[in-house]
Amino acid sequence: MLSTNGEYQSLEITKTVLPVVSRQAEVENASTEANVATLTKFYGRYQDFMEMPAPAHQVAEYLNAHASWFSRCAEPMKVQPLGENGYALVIGRFASFGYEVEPKIGLELLPPEEGIYRIRTIPIPNYQPPGYDVDYRAALQLIENDADTSESLTRVEWELDLVVNLHFPRFIQRLPKSLIQSTGDRLLNQIVRQVSRRLTRKVQEDFHQFLGTPFPVNSKKKW
């Protein structure tokens, strides 16, 4: 349940790798650039909401039973359960400038504390992300509509802090830094936008099935 509404920043961090000292030092250090690896860090803060046509306690009952709906609603992403509250997700394939990445992330859906649902990244056993790492921290809160209406309505308000570190291959590092950052910005926002819209709508449709009511064809959610 993600969207691209929010602030976005990108930072670049350069790490210098010291060469091994040897009698061939002059040859090994002929090119300083050969000993520099670039880590590009992208940070995004997003917030949005979705509406559920039911009182908060009923929405909470649905969210708490994520084992029965999360994998189904996450399709076509590949999902593998990790323990009681965790899942490994393969987000999809994304490419730019000949650089292709298929993000895979472990997420844990924590039980609510004082009405706040939190989602965080967890390691995936026996898996090392190739060229990237992700720090995902989301918080969701249920806000019930207190207005005197015939239909109960609950807003699921959420915010997400997302940090992605990309270790670009050397042929990408030769490109202008501004181009690398703009490409990373676009790639991250593309992933967030695609996953957001698809997952949000599927959860809303599934919740209507949970209630035993038809999902309105013209139902809309603010983006």
At 35, the amino acid letter reads: N
Domains of the chain, CATH where assigned: 6-22+31-211 (3.30.530.20)
Average the pLDDT over 203-213 and give the result.
90
At 59, the amino acid letter reads: V
Q: Beta strands 6-16 and 86-90: pairing type?
A: unpaired
Tens digit of pLDDT for each residue in 113-162? 988 999 999 999 999 888 788 899 999 999 998 665 667 899 999 999 98
d(CA 203, CA 17): 46
Please tell me the predicted confidence (pLDDT) of residue 38.
Answer: 64
Nearest Cα to Cα of residue 215 among 200, 205, 203, 202? 205
Tens digit of pLDDT for each residue in 183-192? 777 777 777 7
* Helix-, strand-, coil-residue percentages of the chain, each rounded to 5: 30, 35, 35
Residue 54 phi, psi (nearest 5): -165, 160
